[in-house]
Amino acid sequence: MLISTTWGGRLLVPADDISLMPELVANGTYDAPFTAFVQRNIKPGDTVIDVGAHVGLFTLLLAYNVWDTGRVIAYEPCPRMLELLRDNVGMGWLGDRVEIVAKAAAATSGTLSFLAPTRYTMTGSLRPVEHLLTTQDRVDTVDRIEVEAEPIDVHVGRFEQIDLIKIDVEGAENQVFTGMEQLLASGVIRRVSFELAREHMGDEWKPFTERLRGLEADGWTFSTISDTGEPQPIALRTVFERGRFSHVLMQR
């Protein structure tokens, strides 16, 4: 199915998907706060890493904003979504600025097990969360597949500055953060935006909260994103108490 977005992009999405497709058909956009944040803050020449690119909704939006002088690196491990991601980048003639990595971002390189839902395609995860993906009210078929993975630290020394790393990995955030410790320590990253869902993280929740406390001690601050795309400071204590946010923004 071909979708025309409110911000000008054209996007192919699976017609049988009922996670992203209905929102795009009804409204022409998805996650308006983050969309507004990107439009306000990502500029021509910027470098961005999109972890969990799916079919490329935000990959394309980011690519439009970095223009032909910038760079977007898009990570997507699911073969079905990867095919559409490649088509969307190609259809938009954005290959001059988008680099697609057909892997999951994780703590180390290798092969990992990935859950690939058929109907709620946005909920794919490296975490063992089958019980959350298929319920009595949300019927789906979830395939377990093997995918290649690598740490984002493979990009150490490649860029003078990374303006944003966007992470949407359905509970595998701690693995992604583990795999970018060198980049975080190097000082090249300006901002990180990540989804947070405590129930998806399971036993990785506690080490992830400890990691965020350590990053706060190193000078990182935390915000949510308002409907107009503006960062709104938030205490980590509040983040941990709520345990669920569409986007937490971390910046120095």
Span 186-220, pLDDT tens digits: 999 999 999 999 999 999 999 999 999 999 999 99
pTM over 0.75? The answer is yes
Q: What is the mean pLDDT of the chain?
A: 97
Strands ordered across the beta sheet of 191-197: 98-101, 71-75, 47-51, 164-167, 191-197, 244-251, 221-225, 231-233
> Is residue 12 a contact partner of residue 1, using CB atoms and an 8 Å limit?
yes
Region 113-141: mean pLDDT is 94
How many domains does the chain fold into? 1
Reply yes or no on whether the pLDDT at 223 is more than 90.
yes
CATH of the domain at 29: 3.40.50.150
Confidence at residue 248, expressed as pLDDT on a 0 to 100 scale: 98
pLDDT tens profile 94-104? 999 999 999 99
Report pLDDT digits (tens) over 29-86.
999 999 999 999 999 999 999 999 999 999 999 999 999 999 999 999 999 999 999 9
In this predicted structure, the answer to whether residue 136 has a pLDDT above a threshold of 90 is no
Binned at pLDDT 50, 70 and 90, residue 184 comes out as: very high
CA-CA distances (angstroms) from residue 77 to 54, 148, 197, 200, 227? Answer: 9, 7, 20, 18, 30
* pLDDT tens digit sequence for 151-165: 999 999 999 999 999
Segments forming the whole domain that contains residue 36: 2-251
**How much of the chain, in percent, has pLDDT values that exceed 90?**
97
Mean pLDDT of 122-128: 96
User: Tell me, what's the pLDDT at 137?
Assistant: 86
Q: Largest Cα–Cα distance of the chain, in whole Å?
A: 49
DSSP string for residues in 147-190:
EEEE-GGGGTTT-S-B-EEEE--TT-HHHHHHTTHHHHHHT-B-
Check residue 49 and give its pLDDT: 98
Q: What is the predicted pLDDT for the residue at 178?
A: 98
Could you tell me the strand order of the sheet in which 142-150 lies?
104-105, 142-150, 110-117
